[in-house]
Amino acid sequence: MLKLHSLKYCLGKSHFRLLQPLTYSVDSAFKSYSSASDRDFLHKSILPTDHFQASLPRLPIPQLEDTLHKYLESQRQILTDDEYDQTADIVNNFKANEGPDLQKRLVAKDKQNKHTSYITKPWFDMYLKSRLPIVLNYNPFVSFQDDPRPDYQNQLIRSTNMIVSSLKFMKTMRANILEPDIYHLFPAKSDNMRFRKIMRMIPSPFAFYGAYLYKAFPLDMSQYKNLFNSTRVPRPGKDELVVNKDGRHLLVMRNGNFYVFDVLDSDGNIMEPGIIMSNIHQIMKDQSPPSAEPVAAFTAEDRDVWASYREKLISLGNEETLKLIDSAVFALCLEDGKPTDPNAITRMFLHGEAGRIWFDKSLSLIMTGSGNACVNFEHAWGDGVAVLRYFNEVFDDSTMKSVVHPSTSVQDSATSVRKLEFKLDQEMKDNLQKSVKKFNATMQSLDVDHLEYYKYTKSYVKKSGMSPDALMQLAIQMAYYRQYKQTVATYESCSTAAFKHGRTETIRPATAETKRACVLFVDDNHPEPSVDELKNAMMACSKKHGSLTRNAAMGKGFDRHLFGLKTLAEEEDGKLPQMFTDPNYQKINHIILSTSTVSSPAILIGGFAPVTQNGYGVGYSIEDSRIGFNVTSYPPATNAPDFIECVTKSLDDMYEVLEGRHPKRSK
C-alpha cells in the first residue's frame, strides 16, 4: 500500500501536521505499464492529476462577527485585564465602523476573482515582500529515514536513487498522471478502482461533487508545479518566483563549489542511472578544496542586499551561471561530514556551513557522507502538501524500486559534469567575506536541542481518549508555563488544501483550557487537585483543540481573515484602522511558540528556527514507537535545553495522570 497524507501545516517553518494517512492500492489505482519510457514514471493514474482542480470549492470568507469573537477569545489568554479591556474596545469600535465596509469590499473582491482564493495573492506577497534572510526565518528541513537496507545507505548509491525517483515524480506530475491527492473519509467505500472509474467519467468541472457523494475530498494541487526548475530570485522590494521547465540539468553543490550535468536527454527522458551515478561519482572525486569564495552565502543575506549583489554579479558576466542555477531541476548538496548526533544533523540540514546551500532553490536535497538525507525548501512558492507528497513518494520509490545497487559498478567513461565558476571583482570578494562573517555569527547565535521519549506513544494516548496532537500541544504550553509562568502567543497551522488555492489557517493552541491545565499541573500555591480533576482538565484541552482544528481546516479561523482585511486596507485605503495598529494585535502576532509536527513513516526528524528572537521553534512528532521534540532558540532570551527538560516533566506528569496516579508537583 502507498500512503498519502492530508496535512496540517504551519507558516514560515517546517510547520506541518499530518492528520490521517490516506491509503490506496498501487495495483488497483494505476494502469500497468512495461515499456522503457514508462520506467520514467512512478505510476500512471487513471485519474488525471488535475481532474478535480476546476471543481474544488472556494475558500470561504468567515463572518466578521465570528472572526472578531475568536480573536478576542484568543487574546484573552495572553493579555492582562487592562490590556484586554483596551483591545476589546478597539475591536468593538472596528466592528461598528470600518470593519463592515472592509468586509463588504473583501467579499466583493473575492467574487471578482473566482479562479483563486481571497488569501492566495496576499500570502504569496507576504513571503516575497519580506526582506528578512530566508535561512532560519523561512526555510525548514525535513529529513528522511535511513534506507532500510544498510548496504544502500551510501552517499553515491542513495543520491543516484533519489535523483532518479525525484525525476520520476516530476515527470509523472507534469504528464498529469500522478494520483490526485484525495482525503478518503471512508476508504473502504472510495479508495478503490470502482470509485476512480466513476470519477473518470465525471467532467472535471463537476468531479469534486461526485467525490463528495462518496465522502472523498480532493485536495488542491496547484502548488506542485513550483517544486522543480524553480527558484526565488531576489528583487528590490519584492522577490520573484521563476520556473523554467526547459532546464534539463541538476545543480550539485559540494564544499561551496557548483557543478551541473544533464539528468534528462533532449527528448525529456531520464538519463540512464549509470550515467547519473558516474557524474555524481566524478563530483565526489573532485579534489577541489572548499571554495574560498562561496557565492551561495549571498542567498542567506537580507533580500535587498542580495538583490543588489545579484545585479552586480550579472554586470560582472555571471548571468549565464545564475541562469543555470535558477533553472536546475533541483539542487543536490553533497556533504563530506557524517554527523550522528541529532543536534549536529539539525544544524547541517537547517543551515550548514556558509555557502553550502543555495537557499533560493525551491527544493534542495542534502546528502551527508554517510547517506543521511533531507529536503531543505524555500517557502514562498507553497506549503507542505507538495513537499510531503514528494517526500513520501521519493522515499518509497528509491527504497523499493532502486535503479542502482551496491553491486552496480561505476562507469569510468567521460562524464558531462561542468564546474561553474563565478567572476568576482575585489568589491564582490569583500562583500562575500562580509556575508560569510554575518552568516557564521547568526548561526552561532542559534541553539538546538532534542528529546526522544519512549514512556508512552501515539496508540496509548488514543486509547486514553485524548487527541495525540492536543496532548503534545498541552505539553508545550505546560513546558513554557513551567519556565516563565506565562501563557504566550502560540502558532500551529492547518492546511486549507481542501479549497481551491487554499494556503493555511492558524490554530491558536493557547486556550482557556490549556491555561487552566497549566495552573493545575504546575502551580503549587493552591490546594492540590485530584487525579480526576487533572484528567478532566486534559480532556477539556483535547476537546477544545479538536474544535479549533476542525474550524481551521474549514477556513473558519480568524488569522487569515484579519490578514486579508488588513492587506485590503493597506492597498486600497493607504492607512490602517486602529484594529491593526493596536499593540496587542502586534503582540498576538509576535509568535513566541512556533510549533509544527510531522508524521510519516518516511520522516526521521524536521526542524526550523524560532520566528522571533525571544521565541522557540518547536518541531515535534508522536508516533507508535516514540515521542520526539526538536527545539531551537536564541539564547540568552530563551533556553532550549531547559525547555526540553520542562517538556519531559510535562510528559511525565500527564503519563502519571493517564495511569491514574498523582504526579509530583516539583519542577
Active-site residues, by number, are 379
Q: With beta carbons less than 8 A apart as the criterion, state whether 399 and 148 touch.
A: yes
CA 241, CA 232: separation in Å to the nearest integer?
5
Burial 419-446 (b: 16+ CB within 10 A, else e): ebebebeeebeebbeebbebbeebbeeb
Q: Nearest-CA neighbor of 491 among 582, 592, 388?
A: 592
Angle at 353 between CA 10 and CA 251, to 5 degrees: 80
Q: With beta carbons less than 8 A apart as the criterion, state whether 179 and 47 touch.
A: yes
Q: Nearest-CA neighbor of 261 among 413, 416, 130, 112?
A: 416
Paired strand residues for 139? 135
Residue type, 156: L
Q: Nearest-CA neighbor of 51 among 229, 167, 226, 198?
A: 198
Using CA atoms, how far residue 54 sits from 50, 51, 170, 501, in Å, is 8, 7, 21, 11
HSE-CB of 418 using CA atoms within 13 angstroms: 13
C-alpha 380 chain-centroid distance: 11
Backbone angles phi, psi at 316, to 5 degrees: -90, 5
Q: With beta carbons less than 8 A apart as the criterion, state whether 453 and 627 touch.
A: yes
Cell numbers describing residue 403: 535503479
Angle at 622 between CA 616 and CA 623, to 5 degrees: 150
CA 474, CA 469: separation in Å to the nearest integer?
8
Residue type, 70: K
Q: What dihedral do alpha carbons 167, 169, 173, 175 form, nearest 10°?
A: 60
Cell numbers describing residue 208: 469534486
Q: Parallel, antiparallel, or unpaired: how do β-strands 490-495 and 216-218 relate?
A: unpaired
Q: With beta carbons less than 8 A apart as the criterion, state whether 135 and 302 touch.
A: no
Q: Nearest-CA neighbor of 234 among 134, 351, 121?
A: 134
Q: What dihedral do alpha carbons 442, 447, 448, 449 form, nearest 10°?
A: 180
Burial 299-329 (b: 16+ CB within 10 A, else e): bbbebebbbebbebbeeeebeebbebbbbbb
Residue written as grid cell 528572537:
613
Residues whose CB falls within 8 Å of the CB of residue 218, separated by 6 or more in sequence, listed in order: 51, 52, 56, 180, 181, 182, 183, 207, 208, 211
User: Can you tell me whether residue 618 is helix, strand or coil?
Assistant: strand
Using CA atoms, how far residue 318 sits from 296, 324, 329, 416, in Å, is 13, 10, 20, 21
